[in-house]
Structure 1
Amino acid sequence: MGQVSDLYSRKVAAGQLRADHAQQQVLPHMDHVLDQMQAAPAPKRSAWRAFLGVGSPDPAPAAKGLYLWGGVGRGKSMLMDLMAEAAGQIPCRRVHFHEFMQEIQAGLNEARKRGQQDTVRPVAEGVARQTRLLCFDEMQITDIADAMIVGRLFQVLFDQGVTVVTTSNRVPEDLYKHGLNRQLFLPFIGLIRERMEVVCLDSQTDYRQNRQGGPVWFAPADAQAKAALDGAWSDLTGDATPEPLTIAVQGRQVTLPAHAGRVARSSFWDLCGRPLGPADYLAVARAVDVLLIDGVPRLSASNYNEARRFVTLIDALYEAKVRLIASAADEPEQLYNEGEGSFEFERTASRLREMQDAAWGRRADAAPPEEAESATA
């Protein structure tokens, strides 16, 4: 196991990263987490279990984790990648928080089917058997189902010796802000403060905004934009005749109106006007390499549900490195400027801007040195 700061320095020296003072200020906190984990005593069985010769070892105490928060595009995701890489032999999982919670909810459903009264504990213990270090990207709580179980879930994970490191755009006290039954969620904020060091990444540089994109975002969504998407479809598919793509997701079907090979095309309303969720969008992201979306409208309280689905869709596409080509009512930063959800959309707008770059989505080991700043996204 190495240190995150050493790995960061090597990548800077190799031209793969651009040194950033604010990021460098965070590195000792990340190193400290790994140092604690390395120094932790090995798991052992209790005296009674040892005497009887039964039972699994008692979990070692969890090292104090890290909650890294700050504005969009400051390099938090890149730092999380380095944390997972530096973990070495420590059983570690690096996962987007949205995806992790989808897995947890699926596990809870299975536990209910088995008639278990305490559904959270066995699911959390299953995670702990495989992982000592959980590295989450983009912790945010918007779903009441997640909000009601995260406190209990993370308490069991900590008790089982799992250390958590996460990024977020918000200080802990702003998680699930104005959410339904938020008073039941508040103990989770206290748990974060108790079991994780809260650190702000206060960089003045937004690396995503500093990059120049290619012609993949067309605004406004007029006839000229439609013609541009038609041309992109023709170029990408060789004028193939489009056919519907139906994807099976947890016993139901999600259909994209047009696809050829691993290129698909859909209107905003086909994707976000229907009651689809994270699992559906993750399945879409796994099924295609390029997605064309027609007619992204202005977003506001009047189409709040559709806007939330669009945010979730972009998260899934971003994590899977799916290339996005779209027509929209305006530039990403101007799509959702006021009302509930506009703050959260700043991250989505930043990702949409980053995804416009011609080099976005390339494998890190294939990126030439002059494009190294993309690793800071």
Structure 2
Amino acid sequence: MTRIQDIYASRAAAGELHHDPAQEAVLPELDRIRAALDKPVKKGLFRKPPEPPKGLYLWGGVGRGKSMLMDLFVESLNVPVRRVHFHAFMQEIQDGIHQARQQGVEDSLAPVAEKVAKEVKVLAFDEMQITDITDAMIVGRLFEILFKAGVVVVTTSNRVPDDLYKNGLNRQLFLPFIGMLKQKMVVWELISPRDYRQNRLSGAPVYFTPVNDDSRQKIREVWEHLSGGEAEKLVLKVKGREVEIPQFRNGVARAGFYDLCGRMLGAGDYLALAEAVKVLILEDIPRLGRSNFNEAKRFVTLIDALYEAKVRLICSAADVPESLYIEGEGVFEFERTASRLREMQSEDWAS
């Protein structure tokens, strides 16, 4: 079976990716897991199944190539594997628990976790982060069942394990989960000086106006470039409510203006979004004023959340920032938003 190190070297030689010593250093860890999973299991009545290999918790700054390395790993496997964003996975688990409870199952988590364990040998998570108290109270026992069943977990994250659910409510109940991760997974920090996501956007326009066929095509091209043409829905849990983002891939989200500003969303929702994504593609921002005052207020709140979290914004709009909001209550307050929209267009802003 071809090693991940050989796949990486081949693609670097072909110019499909750049040699990066920080990325190359972690490849033997991924090959360790792949090789252990490839070993044939000797079956027998009294044979004890071998211990599964330790997984990998790969963390580091945004744009360092964690998701690309995960793609190579998943591509190399010959065992049942599921690649999924951690938020989406936990949403499925919560939905499964709810259904089990409706059916009168006393231990509603067990059948949900056991079903996952029967379907896959490897779980490959993008962006493990835990901000929701419901997730925080579930993950300990969930992962205990998965690990006991021999499921190998490989995950990326922007946070070191000790910072998961940091300052969360009842965090002391969550701490054993962190200990379990450290026991069952190798924790590896990817320290690369290059931000590849920023490099892909370097010198490229990020604000398209007016909204027409040409700008829509350019937005589509940016999305294809950043996402590879693949996407899933992202569902954020905020105080018991669900906030759905239509398209998401590798830290990049794509939504229309009315998806985010035409709904009854508030600062907490936008902060959760800013926490979960690194790039937001926002399409079809209209002119703002008296006729859509509530939407305009939400847009201001959204931009504030993205700005403070240093989320890169790529958008299409009816006009330049200074001309988006020119009449009605709120014009004065929008001057700050227009200024931030201008600042967020600069090449080095998010760095």
Give yes or no for TM over 0.5.
yes
Aligned: 1:308 with 2:272 = yes
TM-score between both structures, scaled by the size of structure 2: 0.68
What do the CA deviations read for 1:218-248 (whole angstroms, capped 9, x no partner)?
A: 7xxxxxxxxx3xx32465789xxxxxxxxxx
SS of the residue 1:148 aligns to: helix
Structure 2 CA distance for partners of 1:41 and 1:273, relative to 1, 3 Å: closer
- Which amino acid in structure 2 is aligned with residue 30 of structure 1? L
Match of 2:138 in 1: 149
CA separation in 1, counterparts of 2:284 and 2:30?
38
Aligned: 1:126 with 2:111 = no
Q: How does 1:1-377 map to 2 (within 5 A)?
A: 1-39=1-39, 41-42=41-42, 61-87=51-77, 89-210=78-199, 211-212=201-202, 214-217=204-207, 228=209, 231-233=210-212, 235=214, 277-278=242-243, 280-281=244-245, 284-285=246-247, 291-293=255-257, 303-309=267-273, 311-312=275-276, 314=277, 324-325=282-283, 335-337=306-308, 345-346=309-310, 349-350=311-312, 352=313
TM-score between both structures, scaled by the size of structure 1: 0.63
Contact 1:134 1:164 in 2 (8 A): yes
CA separation in 2, counterparts of 1:215 and 1:131?
41
CA separation in 1, counterparts of 2:29 and 2:301?
40
SS of the residue 2:15 aligns to: coil
CA separation in 2, counterparts of 1:234 and 1:194?
53
CA separation in 1, counterparts of 2:167 and 2:2?
41
- Which amino acid in structure 2 is aligned with residue 199 of structure 1? W
Contact 1:40 1:63 in 2 (8 A): no
CA separation in 2, counterparts of 1:209 and 1:91?
33
- Which amino acid in structure 1 is aligned with residue 108 of structure 2? T
- Which amino acid in structure 2 is aligned with residue 304 of structure 1? G
> What is the Cα deviation at residue 295 of structure 1?
12
Contact 1:69 1:199 in 2 (8 A): yes
What do the CA deviations read for 1:307-353 (whole angstroms, capped 9, x no partner)?
A: 214555x57x97xxxx643767699899443xxxxxxx35xx15x46
What do the CA deviations read for 1:81-117 (whole angstroms, capped 9, x no partner)?
A: 1110011x21111111111111111111111112112
Contact 1:148 1:184 in 2 (8 A): yes
CA separation in 1, counterparts of 2:25 and 2:164?
24
Structure 2 CA distance for partners of 1:274 and 1:177, relative to 1, 3 Å: closer
Q: Per chain length, whose mean CA-contact separation is higher, i.e. which structure has more relative contact order (CA < 8 Å, sep 6+)?
A: 1
> What is the Cα deviation at residue 148 of structure 1?
0.3
CA separation in 1, counterparts of 2:44 and 2:96?
28
Sequence identity percentage: 46
Give the count of matched residue pairs.
Answer: 276
Which 5+ residue runs of structure 1 have no aligned equivalent?
48-57, 219-227, 239-270, 338-344, 357-377
Which 5+ residue runs of structure 2 have no aligned equivalent?
218-235, 286-298, 317-351
CA separation in 1, counterparts of 2:303 and 2:49?
46
Structure 2 CA distance for partners of 1:171 and 1:31, relative to 1, 3 Å: same
